[in-house]
Structure 1
């Protein structure tokens, strides 16, 4: 395999995939010799489509995922023009490639892949993360013949129209409620897509096909499909529950896990680490400086590569004024935004600061009026950014005032978030 340019410690090789916003290349870690896949995003395209905040949030969500049937993200690197997402390399290729020459799978193999798919979907849904584009092209096979789901959470990197086309040019895997542009629940939409995948694995063809797009939409919205004669009763029953056109009546993942056909030879995924707070610094540091103007002097001194997504938004609208007087701290929270704000209020009270809510996710901290003489002026703000419904990143900034009070507040909040303070709620 020929390798060319180096990105950090990774030597980049051939292209193995390409999409709307990104290319995927195989690369090798020059420190360890490990093969990796690198998804390369064009930063200009992401910015022009106003997707920076969504990409930031979704990449952060993906870094929280640690499951044997989900492709891992190792780290993120950025240059002035590109974003590099370093991921696990899955050598067996796409499930769609396997289907192209086998047409249909045996019941045993189809069930195994479907079980692993549902395991991955269940894990992600329990963390508030949805795929929204499940199809064989996004399902990879590793060297041991196990399924791994790619691109979980990266819906921002697909244009709205992309959901209406697959490799064969049809919206065959998309739920009815998505096609008619209704507000939809990500979990139910993913379950429908899983149903289409299962049907295709067992039948060797798609449940919904028609050259006329209008007719195809009608078939999907009415769930008009015909099972092959070789489908067993158990297969037909489960597929009918998966391909239920009414989202509220569609089977839930928890019910799939109890289905009689599904449970044959079922081995739940193992090796899933306990819930932990992931290190998201390599994602969030990249977005710290979006907002002002970048001076020519700063641009001239900028490094070729910025590890940990440090200055991803390095462009003419970046402002680094006041860099040396401002203090910034990031903390992770395994609580909702509302709960996290409440803990910020408790921490502020611990160090005799008042809290002023500027919106639902941002607060300002300052001394109470009666204490302004005993505590010098301090300007601190804290913004809570939702990664998933139960994981947040807190960005704390001090633009003026005494560093001692700022550090005491950060220390108090850190303890409360870890459940080590008696003052926490």
Structure 2
């Protein structure tokens, strides 16, 4: 298969994600050897949607202003680039946007799977968030959609602000401050003045959102549902009834007095009285000693391993539950005999069986692609020793059972699906890769939709396929580190 090159410089790799506007590919800058993220947007689509093109040009203009270690930086951009097919022949014209690759994943994933952060870790990330935000504001840029999903982590787990699609310039052409009027962002993180529909200062709105992120990092849950008068917790803030606000939250989380004092300075309904970045940086809690970078990386690495262990334990618990239900059904039929050979076969460590009837599985017409050596953090995946053809078929059955709209690309073992949920549609992609030890890895990537709903869909699918899910090499290594060893019994 020919290597696809773009701009005579970027060697294009696998797809990292995709959405309505285009795809994001892993790429290698051949002049430096660095991994980058390559966003490809269909130029023909932009021609038919002038508003989208204007928004894209605005986003690019804003990102060109920014260059900071705590921001996902724009490296290159070209309009009207010919995107080649896999055989190298021209396919279509795209806009190519090259940005930093955040190999550590989303901050949201770590909080979703491992809960709140210790105060030192939360403070370190809040400092990095404020440093990146300060740079934006100095360059006259307001982000307007700060939330954990838009805070990415570099390879060494340093925070980077991403997704400037809703950002705006906060200065007029003559350099004087301008007021913004568009209600945009994610409602749970939006400042009260934005939700109220009044003209607002983008900098103050960003600080409110940053305060929400800090609260969630410390507590593991949001401070309120929405900053409006219909919300009890926000009413306590608006009325400056902070003791009642904290009394309600301290039943479920712990905050130091210093952290509470800083959050109170940020959670002020009147933006004119809300803490500024200068006030935040002068705060005693904020100014406390940093967590060393190696300590931060070690903690996040440990949490990543914890995610893998928790997934493995969930699968083991599910298999035990199924086995108990099977025995109960047998007992109800009057069959008290336990047939060990009728039970699923397990690896020495792992949550699911090697799969009954594997010898009858359809062989793969073509091998699955090798698992990319891209160092990109993955959290929603599982391993199986079924053939790629068989597990793709099972995935199709699972999506069909969810009444999903889905499309299967059989030769590359890829499925694109759209699943309707009570909280809105979730679009995702599954891809089967060849992994070590004769296994396959099935990777799930969110394309559109709420992150929590995506996690629910992932959990539902893995429950449906639990009989073919096995422990992967990384899980076996983690289990060995816990003392089980490769030949030990499952927990």
Map of 1:214-233 to 2, 5 A cutoff?
220=234, 223=237, 225-226=245-246, 227-228=249-250, 230-233=254-257
- Hey, what does 1:412 align to over in structure 2? none
Deviation at 1:242, TM superposition (A): 1.1
Is 2:181 the partner of 1:180? no
Is 2:223 the partner of 1:201? no
223, 227, 246: which one aligns with 2:270: 246
Q: Distance in 2 between matches of 1:132 and 1:79?
A: 29
- Residue 3 to residue 57, structure 1, CA distance change in 2 (3 Å): farther
TM-score with structure 1 length normalisation?
0.54
Deviation at 1:245, TM superposition (A): 1.5
- Hey, what does 2:34 align to over in structure 1? 34
Q: Secondary structure at the match of 2:96?
A: strand
Deviation at 1:262, TM superposition (A): 0.3
Contiguous gaps of at least 5 residues in structure 1: 165-170, 270-425
Q: Secondary structure at the match of 2:98?
A: strand
Deviation at 1:217, TM superposition (A): 6.0
Contiguous gaps of at least 5 residues in structure 2: 82-92, 169-181, 239-244, 294-491
Is 2:106 the partner of 1:90? no
Map of 1:134-213 to 2, 5 A cutoff?
134-152=146-164, 155=167, 163-164=185-186, 171-209=187-225
Deviation at 1:246, TM superposition (A): 1.4
Q: Secondary structure at the match of 2:268?
A: coil
- Hey, what does 1:119 align to over in structure 2? 131
Q: Which moved more, 1:38-47 or 1:182-191?
A: 38-47
Equivalent residues of 2:18, 2:24 under 8 A apart? yes
Q: Distance in 1 between matches of 2:279 and 2:228?
A: 32
Q: Distance in 2 between matches of 1:187 and 1:232?
A: 26
CA RMSD of aligned residues (A): 3.1
Q: Distance in 1 between matches of 2:283 and 2:203?
A: 18
- Hey, what does 1:71 align to over in structure 2? 72
- Hey, what does 2:119 align to over in structure 1? 107
- Residue 61 to residue 94, structure 1, CA distance change in 2 (3 Å): same
Q: Secondary structure at the match of 2:254?
A: coil
Q: Distance in 2 between matches of 1:223 and 1:6?
A: 54
Deviation at 1:193, TM superposition (A): 0.5
- Residue 16 to residue 177, structure 1, CA distance change in 2 (3 Å): farther
Give the structure with the larger helix fraction: 2
Q: Distance in 2 between matches of 1:192 and 1:58?
A: 22
227, 230, 236: which one aligns with 2:260: 236
Q: Distance in 2 between matches of 1:109 and 1:82?
A: 40
Deviation at 1:181, TM superposition (A): 2.2
Deviation at 1:236, TM superposition (A): 0.8
- Hey, what does 1:405 align to over in structure 2? none
- Residue 253 to residue 223, structure 1, CA distance change in 2 (3 Å): same
Deviation at 1:192, TM superposition (A): 0.4
